[in-house]
Structures are given as C-alpha cells and as structure tokens.
Amino acid sequence: AQSVAQPEDQVNVAEGNPLTVKCTYSVSGNPYLFWYVQYPNRGLQFLLKYITGDNLVKGSYGFEAEFNKSQTSFHLKKPSALVSDSALYFCAVRDGEYTGRRALTFGSGTRLQVQP
Amino acid sequence: GAGVSQSPRYKVAKRGQDVALRCDPISGHVSLFWYQQALGQGPEFLTYFQNEAQLDKSGLPSDRFFAERPEGSVSTLKIQRTQQEDSAVYLCASSLRQEYGNTIYFGEGSWLTVV
C-alpha cells in the first residue's frame, strides 16, 4: 500500500530565509510524487511533481523539491521564503503501475508560517 | 472556465437530508476524482472515473454515497440521508489522461455542513 508521511504539523520561518517542508513516502513500485498548496477556503493548487529523471524538480512560485530514492524522501524547498507562502502544504504519492490504483494518497499536511 | 468548477461552494443540510454536489472538470479531461477533506486533514480518496466508467469506488465510506458521470464530463456526488460525520469539504479533481504521471487539478471544493 502507498503512504505518505509529513512529520511536521507546522514549520515556522522568517521571511527571506530558506524553507524546507519534509515528506517521506512508502510505495511498492516506482513512485510518482506531487506537492500541492492550499490557501484558506480554497482548493489544492499544484506546485510540482517528480515522475522520472533529474532528482531536483522545479515548480511554481520558486519552489523546488528533491527526490531521494535511498531515503524515500521528497522534501519541498524554497531558497527565500515570502510571507505570501504561508499556507498548508500537502505531499502526495501514486504507485499505480504496481497497484493499478489511479488515486493520489496524501499526507496529513504541513502548515507553513512565514514571519515578516 | 479554465479550471475545475464545483457547485454549490457551500451547503448546509439538515441531518437526514439528501445532497448533490456537482463537478465540471476541465474540458477534455478523461480522469475525474472525488476526495473528502475533513477540517485540518489531508484529502481522502472517494472514487475515480475514466470517462463515464467508475473504475474505483473503494473510498466511498458507505452505501449512502453515490457518484456518477453519465456522459463522461460533468459528475455528481450524491449523499443520501446525511449524517453529521459527513461534514467536510468535497474536492473534485481531473486530469487530461489516465497515465500515472499526469497532473491532477483540483477544484475549490464544496463545503458541506450537516446540522
């Protein structure tokens, strides 16, 4: 079965500092990994995904994520945080080629708070 | 509209009432998903359609939940005899194709409160 863990409920960072939001996963086959962001009272917005190839994936709004197969991690990063980055972040995984399951499995979410 | 559209955005239902939530996916998208998101938690999968075929309904919590996509476009999630535990945000999502690497795009959700 596929699963995702986001070990931090909340991450606090000062504006201008680098940020990292952690994600680890468990799958039976090759993972397809996604990050989404959710602002208050809004749906999920796609940030980036890892399918295959380069382990460093670049996405929207200056975010990037590094796929690490040996550590089964896919941490979200940004070199310089903005107050407007404050939101709820979700990591998600799919390993459908092994299970036949099309659905994404989501983590519990990490709230990012960027202080001015 | 360029995105996934859901209606109503907000619904208050009395316990025992039936509700219907509508999803209009991005035009041409083959795959459609419904998720349930409780307050402060991650989305939980409910059901998946490929065109009009419901290929996975393993996440539907009870037989009070029913989804359809009769013409392979608009989808409706119906909840019969609503209970308080059904209070949640119901998210619809779509993707262009069924391949596993395809990006899934979400709507803004339908907020259901059962009183």
Average pLDDT score over residue span B61-86: 97
Q: Pick A3-115's CATH classification: 3.40.190.10, 3.30.160.100, 2.60.40.10, 3.90.960.10.
A: 2.60.40.10
- The predicted-structure confidence for A58-80, as pLDDT tens digits, reads as follows 999 999 999 999 999 999 999 99
Task: Give the CA radius of gyration of chain B.
Answer: 13
pLDDT at B7: 97
SS3 A56: strand
CB contact under 8 A, A103 and B48: yes
Nearest-CA distance B86 → chain A (Å): 18
Average pLDDT, chain B: 94
Length of chain B: 115
Give the domain B16-107 fold. Immunoglobulin-like (2.60.40)
Q: Which of A93, A39, A67, A25 is nearest to A77 (CA)?
A: A67
Cα B24 from Cα B82, distance rounded (Å): 23
Per-domain boundaries in chain A: 3-115
Of A61, A76, A98, give the one whose Cα is nearest residue A24: A76
Domains of chain B, residue spans: 16-107
| Nearest chain A residue (CA) to B6 | A43
Interface residue B100 vs chain A (CB under 8 A) = yes
Q: Is A111 on the interface with B (CB under 8 A)?
A: no
Q: What's the pLDDT at A96?
A: 67
